[in-house]
Amino acid sequence: MTTSADKTLSLLIKENAYEHGFDLCGIVLSKSFKEHEPIIRNWCSSGMNGDMDYLGQYIEKRINPGLLIPGAKSVIVTGLNYYTEKKQGGNGIPVISRYAYGINYHNVIKGKLNKILDYIKSINPEVVGKSFVDSAPIIEKAWAREAGLGWPGRHSILINNKIGSFFFLGVIVLNIDLDCDKPYTEDHCGTCTLCIDSCPTGAINENRTIDVRKCIAYLTIENKGPVPEELARKMEGRVFGCDKCQEVCPWNKIAKPHKNPEFELPEEIKQMTAEEWHNLTREQFNRLFKRSAIERRTYERFMQNVTIVTKFSS
């Protein structure tokens, strides 16, 4: 049971999250998501996780934050908009996903979450907590829905009815009780299947999961082997990530441009020609993408992507 003091702290935490630029913030009681365990196991056992073997590991921790933070009682979930109307690439120029336009979102969001955590500790020094941004086995989307941030679309990405789906999730797990939000129980996708129908490689399953072995985002970022030619022909110039399922989603008609300078696309990258992308040197790659999410894809593998899309877009 929460007290008036807990409710006050919950409101202060949300206000602090908004002050640090977050667009969404919800709080939920920590628990074990046992119902997600068979879904994760079945998805991995079917091979739909591709080379990402780690997704089938530490499942107990994925569904139970108490195994990440002993004594976990509350989970704070934040959403940070990264949508922009500016588009890069096309017409023979390699395309990168909007999420990789600026500074690596892991670093940006982790910094903001840690500031919130410091704020909470300034009020209650006894608090124990930790911030997570894709950095631990935790099912962020499930927690986001439980915290009232939205519902999973058919493309499996969380959708919020006020800002769409172009937003990053961040999580803070705490060992204190807080006033919690109600879960988002509605589903506003209706009969729409635009994301499924528009996926270039047919990677979206009917049960709101993704077969990453076909997903362009996976093929251009996580994939360790060569891209099968039948899929390479359908990549539509994409060399890092894919936004197609989000671009066609009707809920993103309400998306507003973000207000985070960290996520702006550098003008030099925006102006690059197809020839400049094809002749990109290691030194240029290191300089241009030093602080970008693209850096995680080594120069050799990134240039393999460039070569593939150049071959099939010519």
Torsion of CA 243, 247, 251, 253, to 10 degrees: 130
**From 6, 23, 51, 134, active-site residue:** 134
State residue 279 phi and psi, 5-degree precision.
Answer: -100, 15
DSSP 169: E
How many whole angstroms separate alpha carbon 310 and alpha carbon 46?
32
How many whole angstroms separate alpha carbon 149 and alpha carbon 289?
31
**What are the tens digits of pLDDT across the range 9-39?**
999 999 999 999 999 999 999 999 999 999 9
176 contacts 127 by C-beta, under 8 angstroms: yes
Minimum mean pLDDT among 54-68, 250-264, 280-294: which range? 54-68
How high is the pLDDT of residue 99? 96
Confidence of residue 104 (pLDDT cuts 50, 70, 90): very high
- What is the mean predicted confidence (pLDDT) over 43-67? 90
Residue 75: Cβ within 10 Å count: 27
Residue with tokens 């500031």: 115
How high is the pLDDT of residue 135? 74
Residue with tokens 């499930």: 142
Q: Give the pair of three-digit tokens for residue 133.
A: 């941004």
Question: What is the three-class DSSP state of 192?
Answer: coil
State residue 136 phi and psi, 5-degree precision.
Answer: -155, 160
DSSP bridge partners of 240: 96
Confidence of residue 3 (pLDDT cuts 50, 70, 90): low
**What are the tens digits of pLDDT across the range 61-76?**
889 999 999 999 999 9
% of the chain beyond a pLDDT of 90: 86
Confidence of residue 4 (pLDDT cuts 50, 70, 90): low
- What is the mean predicted confidence (pLDDT) over 163-167? 98
End-to-end CA distance of the chain: 63
Amino acid at 17: A
How many whole angstroms separate alpha carbon 248 and alpha carbon 38?
30
- What is the mean predicted confidence (pLDDT) over 151-180? 97
**What are the tens digits of pLDDT across the range 284-305?**
999 999 999 999 899 999 999 9
**What are the tens digits of pLDDT across the range 204-248?**
999 999 999 999 999 999 998 888 999 999 999 999 999 999 999
Better-scored residue on pLDDT, 201 or 62: 201
134 in active site:
yes
Residue with tokens 């519902």: 151
How many whole angstroms separate alpha carbon 235 and alpha carbon 95?
10
Sign of CA dihedral 230, 233, 238, 240: positive
Confidence of residue 136 (pLDDT cuts 50, 70, 90): confident
Residue 258: Cβ within 10 Å count: 23
Q: Closest Cα partner for 177 from 24, 71, 20, 293? A: 71
How high is the pLDDT of residue 313? 73
Confidence of residue 137 (pLDDT cuts 50, 70, 90): confident
How many whole angstroms separate alpha carbon 61 and alpha carbon 190?
33
* Residue-averaged pLDDT of the chain: 94
Sign of CA dihedral 291, 309, 213, 195: positive
pLDDT surpasses 90 at 58: no
